[in-house]
């Protein structure tokens, strides 16, 4: 029951559509009607601007962190604590990508997965994040950076687990979250291969009042 509760809690936190809410509060628009039709920080950046996008990013990261920390609090040191935390983190990504509150739509899960990853295995994030930033900086493709992080995190976490720095549940989380994030970028992968993917900095045109 506690594992189930952790999953439900994680999903509920992840399903809070901060991108949609901020879009409505700041511009009076539904973020899903523009750009990639996603509710994450990248689409918010193109559609709402840097300040709103920063808010979306921070809040989406916080969902992942909160899911893991609350699951740990729920178990209170039980031997299954880290598995519950991993499950809650994965559930938060599922909630973000397929939110029950907005018709099972949402984002791609990058920020939420990063938040949970940092809470599960901070050293993985320390190693992977500079690589992701470098890829985005060099290519100007946020999606390519996100995919690099999603594919690299399980490998780094597995190595850290072998060194005794990370746990087996953290490896399982990194693998599951990486698969979810990669799957959510299927359309981006197609555009990257076709050379039609939009680079960071390209804006989405939004008329007055949406």
Is residue 179, in this structure, part of any structural domain at all?
yes
Distance of alpha carbon 189 from alpha carbon 197, whole angstroms:
8
Query: Residues 24-43: what's their mean pLDDT?
Result: 94
Is residue 157, in this structure, part of any structural domain at all?
yes
83, 10 contact by CB (below 8 A): no
pLDDT attached to residue 186: 96
Is residue 111, in this structure, part of any structural domain at all?
yes
Is residue 200, in this structure, part of any structural domain at all?
no
Is residue 176, in this structure, part of any structural domain at all?
yes
* pTM of the entire predicted model: 0.93
Supply the range of the domain harboring residue 23. 2-194
Question: Residue 5 has which token pair?
Answer: 């509760």
54, 67 contact by CB (below 8 A): no
Query: Which DSSP helix (H) or strand (E) runs through 122?
Result: helix 122-139
Question: Residue 105 has which token pair?
Answer: 């739509």
Reported as a single tens digit per residue, the pLDDT across 37-82 is 999 999 999 999 999 999 999 999 999 999 999 999 988 767 789 9
Reported as a single tens digit per residue, the pLDDT across 149-199 is 999 999 999 999 999 999 999 999 999 999 999 999 999 999 999 999 999
Q: How many domains does the chain have?
A: 1
Reported as a single tens digit per residue, the pLDDT across 111-137 is 999 999 999 999 999 999 999 999 999
Is residue 114, in this structure, part of any structural domain at all?
yes
Q: Quick one: CA dihedral 87, 93, 94, 100, positive or negative?
A: positive
Residue 183 neighbours by CB under 8 Å, 6+ apart: none
């Amino acid at each position: 029951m506690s594992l189930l509760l952790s999953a439900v809690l994680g999903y509920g936190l992840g399903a809070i559509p901060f991108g949609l809410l901020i879009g409505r509060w700041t511009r009076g628009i539904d973020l899903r009607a523009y750009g990639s039709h996603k509710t994450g920080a990248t689409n918010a950046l193109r559609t709402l601007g840097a300040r709103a996008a920063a808010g979306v990013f921070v809040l989406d990261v916080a969902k992942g962190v909160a899911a893991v920390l609350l699951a740990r609090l729920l178990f209170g040191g039980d031997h299954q604590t880290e598995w519950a935390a991993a499950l809650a983190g994965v559930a938060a990504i599922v909630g973000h990508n397929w939110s029950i509150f907005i018709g099972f739509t949402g984002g791609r899960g990058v920020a939420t997965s990063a938040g949970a990853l940092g809470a599960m295995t901070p050293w993985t994030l320390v190693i992977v994040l500079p690589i992701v930033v470098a890829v985005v900086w060099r290519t100007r493709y946020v999606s390519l950076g996100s995919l690099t992080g999603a594919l690299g995190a399980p490998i780094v976490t597995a190595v850290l687990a072998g060194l005794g720095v990370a746990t087996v549940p953290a490896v399982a989380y990194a693998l599951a979250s990486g698969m979810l994030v990669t799957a959510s970028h299927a359309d981006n992968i197609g555009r990257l291969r076709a050379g039609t993917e939009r680079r960071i900095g390209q804006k989405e045109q939004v008329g007055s009042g949406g």
